[in-house]
Amino acid sequence: MANNTGQAISMALALFIALLGLCCSIIGLSGALSGDEMDNWIRGVLWVLAISGGMMLYGGVTMFFGAKKKIKDTTRDEQELAQAIKNPVNIDDAVKSVREQAEKPFADKNTLLAHWTYSDEEWKAFTKKEFNFRIREALVLWLILVGLGTWLLASYRDMGHLAAFISSLSIGGLITFIRFIIAYNALKANSSKPGDVVISAKSILINGTYHTLNDENKTLSKLELLQDENPQILEFTVVWNTRRGQTNEQVRVPVPSDKLSEAAKLMEVFNNDVIGKY
């Protein structure tokens, strides 16, 4: 089944925000519209509270239904892929289908391209390598957060350098710890199962865990074949916009030793017919 834990958390957070917004709206409106005598500035504050609560309520409801739709879409996509892999995948036919779809106004992003399985040796080697990669990535992020955070807090928040360093160290440590837990859980989950990867123009399933490549929010921006790795790795870079600008993540897929020619064809079709068109 698709991994919808993140969306479930988003739904719970959205409900909390909506409930908090509703409470703020009720308190603000009841106070602002009451006939009690009060200073104008107090009534103004109550109106601000009511309006802010309304915005929180709207944002929470929108976020909730957005996360609910994402779970529905993810589940549907996974079911489509699960149905498609019941038959052998012909890479040439799949590439032809993707190219035909890319010419249409609304491309079928879920076109199945590859279904790979791995030997125990290949899969265990990849899961260990992937764990080490994610840990190094988290540590580098921690160092950047500590350095940049210390400078920003000390420069723009009038905070002492020691206090800024301790704050940045703590926040960075928390983020690193969370990323470590995610990487460790992925290692335990993947190493306990035979390797199974399903690749479409829209998404990737790695042992049943769903990774988005293209949808209304995320876009595949780059695909590289890391030939120096053993096994070789396809690295998909996915980007999306946040309030603080664009961010990205890498989805990494090992190439089975007998699928190198398929990997080359995937590189070609993704770079020529998917990226920038889907």
Q: Give the pairing type, strands 245-254 and 196-200.
A: unpaired
Average pLDDT over every residue of 216-222: 87
Q: Terminal CA-to-CA distance of the chain, rounded, Å?
A: 25
pLDDT at 235 over 90: yes
pLDDT of 223: 93
pLDDT bucket at 87, cuts 50 / 70 / 90: confident
pLDDT of 2: 47
pLDDT of 205: 86
pLDDT at 277 over 80: no
d(CA 188, CA 191): 5
d(CA 273, CA 278): 8
- How many Cα atoms within 13 Å fall on the side-chain side of residue 203? 25
Residue 36 has phi, psi (to 5 degrees) of -65, 145
- The rounded mean pLDDT for the chain is 81
Local structure of 82: helix, strand or coil: helix
Residues 6+ apart with CB under 8 A from 196: 115, 116, 117, 118, 205, 206, 207, 208
- How many Cα atoms within 13 Å fall on the side-chain side of residue 221? 12
pLDDT digits (tens, 9 = 90+) for 133-179: 888 878 888 888 888 878 877 776 667 777 778 877 787 777 777 77
More confident residue, 97 or 6: 97
pLDDT of 236: 94
pLDDT of 158: 65
d(CA 274, CA 98): 8
pLDDT of 1: 43
pLDDT digits (tens, 9 = 90+) for 32-66: 888 677 788 888 888 898 999 899 999 989 988 88
More confident residue, 244 or 58: 58
Average pLDDT over every residue of 5-18: 79
pLDDT at 80 over 60: yes
pLDDT bucket at 224, cuts 50 / 70 / 90: very high
pLDDT at 183 over 70: no
